[in-house]
Amino acid sequence: MTDLPVLRLRPKSKPQAIRHGFPWVFADEAVLDRRSRNIPAGGFAVLEDAERNAMAVVTVNPQSKIVGRVMDADPQAVIDGGWLSAKLARALQMRERLYDAPFYRLVHAEADGLPGLVIDRFGDAAVIQPNAAWADRMADQIAEALVQVTGVTTVILNGQGRARGLEGLEERMEVLRGHTPSEPVAVPMNGATYLADLLGGQKTGLFFDQRPNQAFAQRLAKGATVLDVFSHVGGFALAALAAGAAHATCVDGSAAALDLAKGGAGRMGAADRLETVQSDAFKAMERMAEEGRRFDLVVCDPPAFAPSKPALDAGLRAYERVAKLAAPLVAPGGYLVLCSCSHAADLTAFRNVSARGIGRGGRRGVLIHTGQAGPDHPTLPQLAETGYLKALFFRLD
């Protein structure tokens, strides 16, 4: 028998949701008495329904709106190094079936049974993002299991971002195993070469989630002129150049990210076909429209304008503005790709504001393809937040 404390559901809560795979217990669904509030953030407990039937092992954070996260459906499970290794081995097995090279998202939080934990792999290095208190507390054990299961020699903890703040966690960045990388890591993807700064870049250094959407964009890019707005390290631009685009322009506010884009283009022998523009994206699109510039393929992949429900209305207005400004930059018969990584904005809402923005930009078009994140970012059907990425491909008149 386990000697863990108990977190109990309120009588009017719906335990069947947990039994059917929903991984979260919200604070208003649980009995938060003196004992449960004294469970340390990131500690473990047995989740019981109102009739005191054991349901699962959960990690508890009394300071979070998500007071409990399901770790294991077995109430007798022990969350230790062996448990972690088994979860990582299962995640690794699927990625090795999917990809020929070890560059991918290895762990996608709840969808891989490791709530709040993200791990991206870059060959012999891995970057972990412990966005839940339990993962932050067990970061060293996670790193040890990661080395044993995958053989990576460098493990970096990137403890930054909005999600950690919601869990009451402080920001931190450190190398848990191995040595600090002396230079950006070269990442092969879709025939392109990207440079990922594992310590100083955004998130873990590179966005693997757009891989299938960049591959689809490559079908439209041969011989084309391409504009990649909010380009980061050149995600769509470098993919287009690898597919034979005549020229690509990256627009981003970060000089460091654009330098990495130029470095990637240089590794590919395509430096002479890449232009970079450091600028606010909205101002850059307005300026290009005034200059009469047109591109065969325009891609806009902005940050999450609607990271939460309270930000939804403002976020949707921002996405509509992106579409309005981008549409006039597309040559007649060209293509416009609009992306959203906001889980609060569902596909229907994002598609509607994108179409409205295109219309406000004086253009009309048809939707030819809808993309999502790659299979290394699996979606937990019970948790919409895991299916956050949307990519809309339009052909404009």
Structure confidence by residue, pLDDT tens digits, 118-145? 999 999 999 999 999 999 999 999 999 9
CATH number of 6-72: 2.30.130.10
What integer is the mean pLDDT of 256-278? 97
CATH 3.40.50.150 location in the chain: 185-396
- How many alpha carbons lie under 13 Å from residue 186 in its C-beta half-sphere? 11
Where helices occur in 99-161 by DSSP H, the ranges are 133-137, 139-150
Mean pLDDT value of segment 178-193: 95
Kindly tell me the burial class for residue 206, based on how many C-beta atoms sit within 10 Å of its own C-beta (0-12, 13-18, 19 or more): buried
* Radius of gyration for the chain, computed over Cα atoms and rounded to the nearest angstrom: 22
Q: Quickly count: other Cβ atoms within 10 Å of residue 97's Cβ.
A: 8
What is residue 75's predicted lDDT score, i.e. its pLDDT?
96
The answer on pLDDT for 2 being more than 70 is no
**Other CB atoms closer than 10 Å to residue 163's CB: what's the count?**
16
Mean predicted confidence (pLDDT) in 171-191: 94
In this structure, the number of other CB atoms found within 10 A of the CB of residue 41 comes to 18
- Strand boundaries in 101-246, DSSP class E: 103-108, 117-122, 125-130, 154-159, 172-177, 185-189, 192-196, 225-229
Question: Does residue 341 carry a catalytic annotation?
Answer: yes
What pLDDT score was predicted for residue 28? Answer: 93
Q: Does domain 81-177 fall into CATH 3.30.750.80?
A: yes
- Which of 234, 222, 328, 302 minimizes the C-alpha distance to 274? 234
User: What percent of the chain is predicted at pLDDT more than 70?
Assistant: 99
pLDDT at 307: 87
Taking residue 122's Cβ as centre, other Cβ atoms within 10 Å add up to 25
240 band by pLDDT with thresholds 50, 70 and 90: very high
**How many other C-beta atoms lie within 10 A of the C-beta of residue 28?**
11
Catalytic pick among 250, 300, 339, 341: 341
Give this prediction's pTM: 0.94
Give tens-digit pLDDT for 332-363. 999 999 999 998 999 999 999 999 999 999 99
- Residue range 88-107: mean pLDDT, rounded: 98
pLDDT attached to residue 251: 98
In the chain, where does the domain assigned CATH 2.30.130.10 lie? 6-72
Contact 230, 252 (CB under 8 A): yes
Q: What residue ranges of the chain are covered by domains with CATH 3.30.750.80?
A: 81-177
Question: Of 242, 215, 241, 253, which is closest to residue 337 (Cα–Cα)?
Answer: 215
* Domain 185-396 listed as CATH 3.20.10.10: no
Mean pLDDT, the chain, whole residue set: 95
Q: How do residues 301-339 score in pLDDT, each as one tens digit?
A: 999 999 888 999 999 999 999 999 999 999 999 999 999
Q: Above 50 in pLDDT, residue 1?
A: no
Bridge partner list, 282: none
Question: Is there a contact between 81 and 145 (Cβ–Cβ < 8 Å)?
Answer: yes
